């Protein structure tokens, strides 16, 4: 018999307000939250299929691509990475991962789990790859797939991609780019660069919640995936002959079947995450309406203001500043200061969340994000003021008002009213 249960134990969901200024997730744009509240529709309702097609059209603008295979994977950002890898990689395929932080390590982990012969090339955290290192690794390992982050939030570094993309083409490797933390906040022209697979998430520069993952696939990538197409029993017809390639080992992340689901044929695969698709559509709609160039400039401005404010407070910025992500700033925790204690004070007293990092950087740096809806003057200024107060309370010597003054100067010189 179940124990008695007090229905008064739990209240309605009513979380305390937060300003999410870490490396993600960030506060969703209110327009996105409103879009998520509209009525649900069946996955084959003509209205819903139209919304799916509209989302694809909008996402092509966001990715700067003409790829027909531009769609969504139901799951957080890593679901799109896993879907791409499990659908493209057959056991034994050589995959080269260029890792310059925690999320390079993640791609090596996923590739190994799907049976790849994984080779990893690394550079020190806080730096990015030079062309020669990548070229030497491609020559040595001759991979079928090269995987790299565009921006790795664990180190706050952004990898230049133009030469890497050229090298991947020259060495007959598909290029997979993880743009989880940069799509919508940095220039990423998928077609112009020649990227074969690009994945992202909503919860950073796209100003949405985590839970669905945009992906775009080049025709070459689609061809390789379709070579492994096997339609499920119960929905296949006599014309759905199995392809010659090995069946994709994941059902849920089988991109061949997901492509069929998103096609005009609408071949049943999963039940689409309706409210999350609404969110993705609204994220993309806002970005396209405001202008991709304007959004990129807004992220650059807010990031510059945050970095300038932190430096003016006497804090040392982390990593190679020439290759810093504009939307996430790493800063060394001052000697003698309890980094986690300051983070907790920011949350407890001001409702502001900032991040620490992983592995060798945990407890050594803070990471402050200026992304999506929070890439704006008010969020930056409020965060800097609260951080100054918490540092002073923790015993640090911080020049009074220096951080907010420096950031304000950046915004004023740019003529930003936002």
CA angle 204, 340, 76 (to 5 degrees): 25
Beta strand 151-152 with 157-158 is antiparallel
Q: Specify the pLDDT at position 258.
A: 98
User: Could you tell me the residue ranges of all domains in the chain?
Assistant: 30-288, 292-414
CATH code: domain 30-288 is 3.40.640.10
What phi, psi does 248 have (nearest 5°)?
-60, 130
pLDDT at site 416 = 63
Q: Which helix (H) or strand (E) holds 72?
A: strand 69-74
CATH 3.90.1150.10 for domain 292-414, yes or no, is yes
Other Cβ atoms closer than 10 A to 338 = 13
Tell me 241's DSSP state: P
Ordered per-residue pLDDT tens for the chain, 418 residues: 677 777 777 888 899 999 999 999 999 999 999 999 999 999 999 999 999 999 999 999 999 999 999 999 999 999 999 999 999 999 999 999 999 999 999 999 999 999 999 999 999 999 999 999 999 999 999 999 999 999 999 999 999 999 999 999 999 999 999 999 999 999 999 999 999 999 999 999 999 999 999 999 999 999 999 999 999 888 888 888 888 889 999 999 999 999 999 999 999 999 999 999 999 999 999 999 999 999 999 999 999 999 999 999 999 999 999 999 999 999 999 999 999 999 999 999 999 999 998 889 999 999 999 999 999 999 999 999 999 999 999 999 999 999 999 999 999 999 865 6
Token readout for 241 is: 């002959």
Question: How far is Cα 389 from Cα 396, in angstroms, rounded to an integer?
Answer: 10
Q: What is the pLDDT of residue 392?
A: 97
Q: Is 387 helix (H, G, I), strand (E, B) or coil?
A: helix
Tokens 């502001």 found at: 352
Rounded Cα–Cα distance for residues 131 and 133 (Å): 6
């Amino acid at each position: 018999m179940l124990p008695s249960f007090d229905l008064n134990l739990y209240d309605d969901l009513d979380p305390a307000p937060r300003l999410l200024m870490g490396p993600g997730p960030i506060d969703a744009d209110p327009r996105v939250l409103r879009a998520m509240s509209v009525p649900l529709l069946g996955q084959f309702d003509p209205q819903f299929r139209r919304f799916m097609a509209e989302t694809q059209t909008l996402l092509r603008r966001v990715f700067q691509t003409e790829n027909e295979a531009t769609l969504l994977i139901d799951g957080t950002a890593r679901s799109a990475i896993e879907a791409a890898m499990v659908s493209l990689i057959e056991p034994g395929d050589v995959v080269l991962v260029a890792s310059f932080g925690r999320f390079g390590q993640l791609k090596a982990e996923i590739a190994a789990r799907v049976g790849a012969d994984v080779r990893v090339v690394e550079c020190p955290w806080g730096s990015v790859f030079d062309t020669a290192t990548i070229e030497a690794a491609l020559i040595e390992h001759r991979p079928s797939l090269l995987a790299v982050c565009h921006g790795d939030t664990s180190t706050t570094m952004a990898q230049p991609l133009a030469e890497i993309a050229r090298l991947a083409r020259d060495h007959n490797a598909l290029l997979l780019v993880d743009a989880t933390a940069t799509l919508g906040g940095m220039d990423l022209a998928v077609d112009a660069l020649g990227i074969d697979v690009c994945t992202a998430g909503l919860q950073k520069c796209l100003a949405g919640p985590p839970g669905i993952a945009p992906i775009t696939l080049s025709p070459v990538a689609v061809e390789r995936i379709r070579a492994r197409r096997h339609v499920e029993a119960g929905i296949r017809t006599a014309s759905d002959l199995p392809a010659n390639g090995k069946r994709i080992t994941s059902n849920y992340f089988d991109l061949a079947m997901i492509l069929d689901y998103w096609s005009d044929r609408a071949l049943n695969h999963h039940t689409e995450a309706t409210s999350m698709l609404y969110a993705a559509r609204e994220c993309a709609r806002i970005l396209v309406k405001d202008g991709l160039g304007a959004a990129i400039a807004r992220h650059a401005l807010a990031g510059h203001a945050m970095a300038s404010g932190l430096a003016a407070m006497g804090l040392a910025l982390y990593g190679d500043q020439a290759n810093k992500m504009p939307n996430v700033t790493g800063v060394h925790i001052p000697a003698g200061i309890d980094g986690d204690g300051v983070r907790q004070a920011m949350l407890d007293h001001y409702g502001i969340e900032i991040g620490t990092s992983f592995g060798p950087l945990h407890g050594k740096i803070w990471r402050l994000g200026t992304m999506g809806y929070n890439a704006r003057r008010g969020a930056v200024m409020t965060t800097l003021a609260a951080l100054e107060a918490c540092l002073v309370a923790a015993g640090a010597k911080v020049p009074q008002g220096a951080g907010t003054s420096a950031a304000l100067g950046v915004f004023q010189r740019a003529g930003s009213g936002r």
